């Protein structure tokens, strides 16, 4: 009986030794310095090492990353995608890639996103500067849906709504042409009518300062921010990430009041109370900056239809929370 156990133990020992030797053997053929070899031996399986050797894998990034906190070889593919596209903050690359992939997301979405040069600059900057906690940026599949979200995580790329109308019958900030989707346009007109009934002057002295903004316009806006020496990419979203491109967003302000004071006007108080009756929400409410990544914007209204608007406004949610809860 005892003899058998010894035999078994010896076999196991032999297996372990041969397995370790196998790692050493493969490492002999991998061209990195000894410090990295030691870590590779510790963190990678013989199979992984074998694959690295067999595919003649480029070890430049891995050598820098493998010694850092939270390194996970199974996520190396995404580390490579990001670093090969210009991200150099290796520790952040690791943390963000892990957070993204360990939640079950696919690396292909990031690849698709980075393929688009306009987004690339933004996402790489976002990662390198540690601005957000995760990469989690996706292409929006159906941007025309009424509750679609366009933000730093959800990119609508070159989407153009197919029912844009030239905005009329409401006071405009300047002589530019303004466009909105059909339903949003109608809702805005009736909101303006009732503002006039309540505050007498046309649209209650409010003017429309921004509506639909094209991919190209947003791209130029973002590029001019990037060109500044003190660029703050938290202020301007990149092309495809601005809600204005959805065509159901309106910025409106009292014509004779500054941006800062608009929230104190009786017109704004009225809109905050009644917007939902027309299908609008205050899209970037106070105290939701942690979620929206955009500070309070009392002038920015988003059309979502009456039913959803009244839910969102009465439950004091932002659109991200509401969509999340109603998945
Ligand atoms: Zn706006």
pLDDT for 293 equals: 83
d(CA 124, ligand 1 centre) in Å: 25
C-alpha 301 – ligand 1 centre gap (Å): 7
| Distance from residue 324's CA to the centre of ligand 1 (Å) | 22
Instruction: Please check whether residue 312 is in contact with residue 276, taking contact to mean a CB–CB distance below 8 angstroms.
Output: yes
Q: How far is the CA of 210 from the centre of ligand 1 (A)?
A: 7
Q: How many angstroms separate the alpha carbon of residue 251 from the centre of ligand 1? A: 5
Comparing C-alpha atoms, which of 54, 36, 34 is closest to residue 44?
36
Cut 0.85: pTM above it? no
The domain over range 154-325 is classified in CATH as 3.40.50.2300: no
161 and 249 Cβ atoms separated by less than 8 Å: no
| pLDDT (tens digit per residue) in 121-152 | 767 777 777 655 555 566 777 889 999 999 88
Distance (angstroms) between ligand 1 centre and the Cα of 254 equals 15
CA 160 to CA 156: how far, in whole Å?
A: 9
> For the chain, what are the domain ranges?
1-57, 58-139, 154-325
Tell me the two tokens of residue 157. 């790329």
- What is the Å distance from ligand 1's center to 242 Cα? 9
Higher pLDDT pick, 239 / 31:
31
Is it the case that residue 295 has pLDDT exceeding 90?
A: no
Helix (H), strand (E), coil (C) string for 149-201: CCCCCEECCCCCCCCEEECCCCCECCCCCCEEEHHHHHHHHHHHHHHHHHHCC
189-233 pLDDT per residue, tens: 999 999 999 999 999 999 999 999 998 999 888 888 878 888 776
Q: Please state, in angstroms and as integers, the Cα–Cα distance from residue 158 to each residue in 217, 238, 249, following that order.
A: 11, 12, 17
How many Å lie between the centroid of ligand 1 and the Cα of residue 278? 18
Residue 326 CA to residue 108 CA, distance in Å, equals 26
Measure the CA–CA gap between 250 and 186, rounded to whole angstroms: 12
- The CA 250 to ligand 1 mean position distance, Å, reads 6
Return the pLDDT at 136: 59
pLDDT the model gives residue 142: 83
Return d(Cα 210, Cα 300) in angstroms, integer: 9
Round to whole Å and give the CA distance between 210 and 193: 19
């Amino acid at each position: 009986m005892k003899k058998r156990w010894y035999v078994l133990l010896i076999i196991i020992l032999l297996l372990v030794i041969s397995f370790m030797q196998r790692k050493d053997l493969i490492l002999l053929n991998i061209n990195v310095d000894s410090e990295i070899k030691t870590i590779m031996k510790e963190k990678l399986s013989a199979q992984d090492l074998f694959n690295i050797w067999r595919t003649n894998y480029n070890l430049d990034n891995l050598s820098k990353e493998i010694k850092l906190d939270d390194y996970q070889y199974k996520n190396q593919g995404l580390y490579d995608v990001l670093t090969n596209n210009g991200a150099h903050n290796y520790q952040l690359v690791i943390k963000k890639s892990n957070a993204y992939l360990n939640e079950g997301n696919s690396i292909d979405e990031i690849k698709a996103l980075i393929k688009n040069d306009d987004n690339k600059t933004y996402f790489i900057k976002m990662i390198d500067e540690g601005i957000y906690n995760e990469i989690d940026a996706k292409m929006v599949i159906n941007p025309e849906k009424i509750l679609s979200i366009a933000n730093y995580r959800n990119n609508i790329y070159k989407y153009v709504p197919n029912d844009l109308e030239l905005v009329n019958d409401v006071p405009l900030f300047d002589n530019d042409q303004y466009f909105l989707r059909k339903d949003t346009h109608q809702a805005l007109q009736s909101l303006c009518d009732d503002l006039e009934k309540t505050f007498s002057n046309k649209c209650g002295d409010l003017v429309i300062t921004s509506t639909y903004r094209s991919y190209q316009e947003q791209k130029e806006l973002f590029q001019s921010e990037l060109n500044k020496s003190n660029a703050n990419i938290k202020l301007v979203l990149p092309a495809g990430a601005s809600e204005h491109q959805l065509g159901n967003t309106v910025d409106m302000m009292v014509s004779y009041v500054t941006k800062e004071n608009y929230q104190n006007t009786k017109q704004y108080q009225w809109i905050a109370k009644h917007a939902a009756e027309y299908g609008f929400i205050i899209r970037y409410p106070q105290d939701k900056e942690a979620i929206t990544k955009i500070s309070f914007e009392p002038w920015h209204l988003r059309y979502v239809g009456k039913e959803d608007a009244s839910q969102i406004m009465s439950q004091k949610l932002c659109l991200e929370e509401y969509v999340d809860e109603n998945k």
